[in-house]
């Protein structure tokens, strides 16, 4: 069962790109199972910084086959641009495939995302405005356009679908948002050119993956976003519109739960979130400012400043359990180097009660007060550590305390963005 799932344990941007890239060095296939261009996964190699949006983070290895799975919503022009930009910079890429079942972000989706956010004003979700929510809404409403619908030969069917769909979108554009309607023939023309350009990449991905697994290949499923942005278990409605969990990863990749061997939860050594919604450990003081600047905490996709706070072990333990994490990666430990002391949230206080898991009621989540444990800082540069033993004792204790709180062994520790800045701890060392 050589499937490894890599997923976010917080609110996204935990460093899943870096961890996937590290694990992909010895993998055959990397699949993206969810999300869309709303994601931005960074991989730093000797050649420079790569920001990947829907293409899996294994693509920089020529030996890796990368698949955009059925659970992803794909914007064809964005994907084609991403492919072209990678080809321009990097000659020896892995093979890329796209599921014929993936949904398409159509030109009306980013517009709907923007107009709806504008209409909501202060009550907005703070989406990435990439059309992700509207595309997944159409998918669930059974009126979505799929990659298969764009392929040469599907023109009549696509026209039929859009003839039903577009009047509804245009009614919203004209009457609710007071904007111009879209033209059916223009849309069909665009869709035809996308279909022709994407056709060479399109496969029945779930069949390909199952054949590969039957042949003993090692597969990584690289989820986007983080579990606290999950539709069911995240801070609803301040969530994304697909499922960033291990279960969602299986569904989106066409892999059965029984085929999964490892679930690697990726956590930042502190917490960040982009967009609106509850964030009990948020720091709005100079420590928050320091972490934001030191950690260059600006969105990979949108450039928005990320909200920054202390490590939230209540949320982290919740996501570790929900995903059945077998291990965890803790990234950006080096960002904490200058701090004299570090806080970790070990409980949520709500009035005279202490909660040990995130509440479903949004107003309660907004109102909880974090209960902090204070740990000593190390005020030493960790970015050159070659092993766990090389880390300052206080940094080792910090890692061990988080491990205890989330109940999962931490097997990888990020001490910088570069490939070599990853400290591995093997299971034997943790026994």
Q: Is 187 helix (H, G, I), strand (E, B) or coil?
A: helix
Nearby residues of 39 by Cβ (< 8 Å), 6 or more positions away: 12, 32, 53, 54, 224, 225, 301
Answer whether 270's CB lies under 8 Å from 310's CB: yes
Q: Which stretch binds ligand IMO (CB under 6 A): 43-51, 150-158, 223-231, 394-402?
A: 223-231
Q: Does 40 bind Mg ion (CB under 5 A)?
A: yes
Nearest distance in Å: CB 210, ligand IMO: 25
How many helices and strands, by DSSP H and E, does the chain display?
A: 14, 20
Q: How far apart are CA 13 and CA 40, in angstroms?
A: 8
The pair of three-digit structure tokens given for residue 401, joined into one six-digit string? 């305390």
The answer to the question of whether 300 is labelled as a binding residue is: yes
Q: Choosing among ligand GDP, ligand IMO, Mg ion, none, which partner's interface includes residue 243 (Cβ < 5 to 8 Å by kind)?
A: none
DSSP string, 101-135: T-EE--THHHHHHHHHHHHHGGG-----SSSHHHH
Q: Does 13 bind Mg ion (CB under 5 A)?
A: yes
Q: Does 323 bind ligand IMO (CB under 6 A)?
A: no
Q: Is 182 exposed, middle or buried (0-12, 13-18, 19+ CB in 10 A)?
A: middle
Q: Is 63 a catalytic residue?
A: no
The pair of three-digit structure tokens given for residue 258, joined into one six-digit string? 């029984």
Give the 3-state secondary structure of 213-269.
HHCCCCEEEEEEEEHHHCCCCCCCCCCCCCCCCHHHHHHHHCCCHHHEEEEEEEEEC
Cβ proximity to ligand GDP, 75 vs 331, nearer residue:
331
Q: How far apart are CA 293 and CA 307, in angstroms?
A: 11
The answer to the question of whether 416 is labelled as a binding residue is: yes
Answer whether 271's CB lies under 8 Å from 226's CB: no
Q: Quick one: which of 4, 20, 38, 154 contacts ligand IMO (CB under 6 A)?
A: 38
Q: Does 275 bind ligand IMO (CB under 6 A)?
A: yes
The answer to the question of whether 240 is labelled as a binding residue is: yes
Q: How far apart are CA 159 and CA 153, in angstroms?
A: 12
Neighbours of 421 (CB within 10 A): 19
Q: Omega before 189 cis (within 30°)?
A: no
Q: Choosing among ligand GDP, ligand IMO, Mg ion, none, which partner's interface includes residue 7 (Cβ < 5 to 8 Å by kind)?
A: none
Q: Which of 21, 28, 41, 138 is catalytic?
A: 41
Q: Which stretch binds ligand IMO (CB under 6 A): 150-158, 173-181, 220-228, 351-359?
A: 220-228
Q: Does 224 bind ligand IMO (CB under 6 A)?
A: yes
- Would you tell me which residues interact with ligand GDP (CB under 6 A)? 8, 12-18, 40-42, 44, 300, 331-332, 334-335, 414-417
Residue 266's Cβ-side half-sphere holds a number of Cα atoms within 13 Å equal to: 31
Q: Is 41 a catalytic residue?
A: yes
Query: DSSP E strands: which ranges in 269-337?
Result: 271-273, 307-309, 311-312, 327-331
Cβ proximity to ligand IMO, 275 vs 416, nearer residue:
275
Q: How far apart are CA 28 and CA 58, in angstroms?
A: 9
Q: Quick one: which of 300, 319, 326, 382 contacts Mg ion (CB under 5 A)?
A: 300
Nearest distance in Å: CB 15, Mg ion: 8
Per-position b or e across 265-275, b if 16+ CB within 10 A of its CB: bbbbbbbbbbb
Q: Does 225 bind ligand IMO (CB under 6 A)?
A: yes
Q: Quick one: which of 9, 13, 245, 326 contacts ligand IMO (CB under 6 A)?
A: 13
Site string for ligand IMO, 40-69 (x = CB under 6 A): xx----------------------------
Q: How far apart are CA 273 and CA 231, in angstroms?
A: 16
Cβ proximity to ligand GDP, 16 vs 103, nearer residue:
16
Q: Choosing among ligand GDP, Mg ion, ligand IMO, none, which partner's interface includes residue 274 (Cβ < 5 to 8 Å by kind)?
A: ligand IMO
Shortest-Cβ-distance residue relative to ligand IMO: 275
Q: Which stretch binds ligand IMO (CB under 6 A): 36-44, 156-164, 171-179, 282-290?
A: 36-44
DSSP state of 7: E
Nearest distance in Å: CB 363, Mg ion: 29
Q: Does 28 bind Mg ion (CB under 5 A)?
A: no
Q: Does 421 bind ligand IMO (CB under 6 A)?
A: no
Q: Choosing among ligand IMO, Mg ion, ligand GDP, none, which partner's interface includes residue 280 (Cβ < 5 to 8 Å by kind)?
A: none
Interface residues with ligand IMO (CB under 6 A) are 8, 12-13, 35, 38-41, 125-128, 130, 132-133, 224-226, 229, 240-241, 274-275, 300
Write out the catalytic residue numbers: 13, 41
Interface residues with Mg ion (CB under 5 A) are 13, 40, 300
Q: Residue positions in the annotated binding site for substrate?
A: 300-306
Q: Residue positions in the annotated binding site?
A: 12-18, 38-42, 128, 142, 225, 240, 300-306, 332-334, 414-416
């Amino acid at each position: 069962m050589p499937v490894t799932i890599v997923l976010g344990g917080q609110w996204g941007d935990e460093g899943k790109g870096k961890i996937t890239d590290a694990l992909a060095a010895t993998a055959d296939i990397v699949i993206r199972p969810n999300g869309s261009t709303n994601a931005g996964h960074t991989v730093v190699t000797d050649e420079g910084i790569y920001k990947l949006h829907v293409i899996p983070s294994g693509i920089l290895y020529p030996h890796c086959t990368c698949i955009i799975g059925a659970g992803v919503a794909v914007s064809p022009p964005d994907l084609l641009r991403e492919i072209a930009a990678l080809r321009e910079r990097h000659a020896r890429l892995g093979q890329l495939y796209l599921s014929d079942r993936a949904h398409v972000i159509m030109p009306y989706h980013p517009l709907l995302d923007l107009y709806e956010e504008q209409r909501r004003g202060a009550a907005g979700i703070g989406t990435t405005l990439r059309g992700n929510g509207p595309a997944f809404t159409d998918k669930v409403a059974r009126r979505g356009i799929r990659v298969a619908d764009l392929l040469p030969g599907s023109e009549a069917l696509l026209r039929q679908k859009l003839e039903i769909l577009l009047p509804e979108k245009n009614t919203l554009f004209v009457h609710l948002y007071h904007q111009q309607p879209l033209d059916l023939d223009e849309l069909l023309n665009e869709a035809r050119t996308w279909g022709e350009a994407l056709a060479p990449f399109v496969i029945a991905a779930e069949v390909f993956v199952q054949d590969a697994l039957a042949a003993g290949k090692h597969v990584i499923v690289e989820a986007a976003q983080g579990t606290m942005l999950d539709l069911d278990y995240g801070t609803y409605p301040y969530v994304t519109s697909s499922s960033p969990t291990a279960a969602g990863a299986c569904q989106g990749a066409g892999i059965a739960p029984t085929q999964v061997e490892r679930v690697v939860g990726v956590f930042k050594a502190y917490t960040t979130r982009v967009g609106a919604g509850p964030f009990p450990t948020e720091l709005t003081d100079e420590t928050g400012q320091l972490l934001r600047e030191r950690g260059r905490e600006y969105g990979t996709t949108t450039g928005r400043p990320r909200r920054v706070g202390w490590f939230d072990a209540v949320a982290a333990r919740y996501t570790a359990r929900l995903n059945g994490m077998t291990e965890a990666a803790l990234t950006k430990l080096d960002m904490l180097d200058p701090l004299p002391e570090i806080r970790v949230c070990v409980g949520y206080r709500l009035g005279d009660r202490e909660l040990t898991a995130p509440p479903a009621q949004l107003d309660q989540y907004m109102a909880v007060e974090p209960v902090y444990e204070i740990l000593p800082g190390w005020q030493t540069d960790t970015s050159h550590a070659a092993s766990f033993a090389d880390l300052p004792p206080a940094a080792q204790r910090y890692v061990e305390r988080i491990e205890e709180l989330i109940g999962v062994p931490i097997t990888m520790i990020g001490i910088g963005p570069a490939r070599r800045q990853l400290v591995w701890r093997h299971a034997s060392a943790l026994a």
